[in-house]
């Protein structure tokens, strides 16, 4: 095991002793040495020094704070229950509790968001001194409170040009301050790239535990099995108590699907995909099935292809979806 990740919800609302019990049980199944990255996602409003100290003592060594914004008006608009002062207190408490690896999740592109506002927020985020920053463009999901607010308030999301400006501003400001962009939306100080995410982006195996969790396992013959657990929580618990599988579905990926997933995940990385990895998963080389498309992308400066690696150029990363549509 190389990593363990408590996330996909708000695990920080669990009693600290429950986190400790889970880790104790995991240690009975797999050795968790000092090199294993153990991340817990937490929101500032549910984070206290006592919890942080307990998590750190239990073995959590990486904290990911769902900050989203460092301006109170934006936090209210996004429906977040915390304010910027709670974020600062949570970060300081995490340092005091012994966390030396902290990520901040940030979102740009909310209604009325300007490049000037984002530049100030990024400056505030960097001033806190985290080791990792995840900077995502806002996605308005159907049925969410924000979507309903957009229908009932005279708010507008930033236009395409402003969204692009926010994206490029993020890259320029962080890289100018020594941050390494290793994935489309993720930046890290040297040595602090998230190992858990890197493993998933490079088609590594992982076990999904809990309601709605996903998992991926590679069998000895190279075939890939994916699963998705039951949800909501009551259904998941019932399946376990009744001796049934907690999986809502299990499927065997075809070579074509495994190759497509490899491109979908791996081309997000600045370093790209090892070419041999794609061949192992897809059962063929990229040029065996998509030679014309790949050669066009190389010629136009979107794709970089050599004997070892398949990667998108900086230009290609800005058109990720279009490049993927050509290659898959």
**Considering all CA atoms of the chain, what is the largest pairwise distance in Å, rounded to the nearest integer?**
58
pLDDT at 325: 97
Q: Residue 149: pLDDT above 90?
A: no
CA distance 140 to 145: 9
| Model confidence band, residue 289 (pLDDT cutoffs 50, 70, 90) | confident
Q: Which two tokens stand for residue 133?
A: 């920053």
CA distance 51 to 139: 31
Q: Residue 154: pLDDT above 70?
A: no
Cis omega (within 30 of 0) on the bond before 283?
no
CA distance 195 to 256: 26
pLDDT 10s digits, 29-58? 998 888 999 999 999 998 999 999 999 999
> Of 7-21, 123-137, 183-197, where does mean pLDDT reach its minimum?
7-21
pLDDT at 45: 93
Q: What is the mean pLDDT of residues 245-261?
A: 94
CA distance 26 to 35: 15
Element (H, E) at 228: strand 224-229
pLDDT at 34: 83
Is residue 119 within 8 Å of residue 169, measured between CB atoms?
A: yes
Q: What is the mean pLDDT of residues 46-71?
A: 96
Q: Kindly list the distances between the CA atom of residue 9 and the CA atoms of 13, 87, 113, 162, 180, in Å, as whole numbers in the listed order.
A: 10, 18, 26, 30, 27
Is residue 138 within 8 Å of residue 107, measured between CB atoms?
A: yes
The distance of Cα 301 from the centroid of its chain, to the nearest Å, equals 27
Q: Which residues lie across from 274 on neighbouring strands?
A: 309
* Strand ranges inside 259-301, DSSP E: 273-274
Cis omega (within 30 of 0) on the bond before 232?
yes
Helix 255-266 to helix 275-282 angle (10° resolution) is 150
pLDDT at 27: 93
Backbone angles phi, psi at 287, to 5 degrees: -75, -15
pLDDT at 322: 96
Query: What is the average pLDDT value for the chain, to the nearest integer?
Result: 94
Measured between its terminal Cα atoms, the distance across the chain in Å is 31
Identify the structural domains of the chain with CATH numbers, from first to last: 3-193 (3.30.750.200), 202-253 (no CATH), 271-327 (no CATH)
Q: What is the mean pLDDT of residues 76-99?
A: 95
Residue that has been written with the tokens 């990667």 in this structure: 311
Q: What is the mean pLDDT of residues 66-83?
A: 92
Its pTM stands at: 0.93
pLDDT 10s digits, 119-146? 999 999 999 999 999 999 998 878 777 7
pLDDT 10s digits, 103-112? 999 999 998 8
């Amino acid at each position: 095991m190389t990593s363990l990740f408590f996330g996909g919800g708000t695990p920080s609302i669990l009693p600290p002793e429950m986190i400790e019990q889970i880790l104790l049980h995991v240690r009975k199944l797999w050795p968790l040495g000092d090199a294993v990255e153990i991340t817990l996602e937490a929101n500032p409003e549910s984070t206290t020094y006592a919890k942080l100290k307990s998590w750190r003592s239990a073995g959590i060594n990486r904290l990911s704070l769902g900050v989203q914004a460092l301006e109170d008006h934006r936090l209210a608009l996004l429906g977040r229950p915390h304010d910027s002062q709670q974020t600062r207190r949570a970060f300081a408490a995490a340092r005091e509790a012994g966390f030396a690896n902290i990520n901040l999740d940030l979102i740009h592109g909310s209604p009325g968001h300007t490049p000037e506002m984002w530049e100030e927020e990024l400056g505030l985020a960097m001033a806190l001194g985290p080791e990792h920053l995840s900077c995502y463009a806002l996605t308005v999901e159907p049925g969410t409170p924000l979507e309903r607010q957009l229908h009932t308030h005279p708010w507008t999301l930033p236009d395409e040009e402003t969204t692009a400006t926010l994206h490029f501003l993020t890259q320029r400001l962080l890289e100018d301050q020594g941050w390494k962009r290793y994935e489309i939306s993720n930046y890290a100080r040297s040595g602090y790239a998230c190992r858990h995410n890197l493993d998933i982006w490079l088609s590594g195996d992982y076990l999904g535990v809990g309601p709605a969790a996903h998992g991926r396992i590679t069998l000895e013959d190279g075939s890939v099995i994916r699963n998705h657990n039951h949800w909501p929580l009551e259904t998941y618990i019932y399946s376990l108590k009744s001796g049934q599988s907690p999986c809502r579905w299990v499927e065997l990926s075809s070579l074509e699907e495994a190759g497509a997933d490899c491109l979908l995940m791996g081309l997000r990385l600045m370093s790209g995909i090892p070419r041999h990895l794609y061949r192992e998963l897809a059962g063929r080389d990229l040029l065996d099935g998509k030679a014309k498309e790949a050669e066009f992308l190389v010629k136009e400066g979107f794709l970089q292809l050599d004997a070892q690696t398949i990667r998108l150029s900086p230009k290609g990363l800005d058109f990720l979806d279009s490049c993927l549509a050509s290659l898959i």
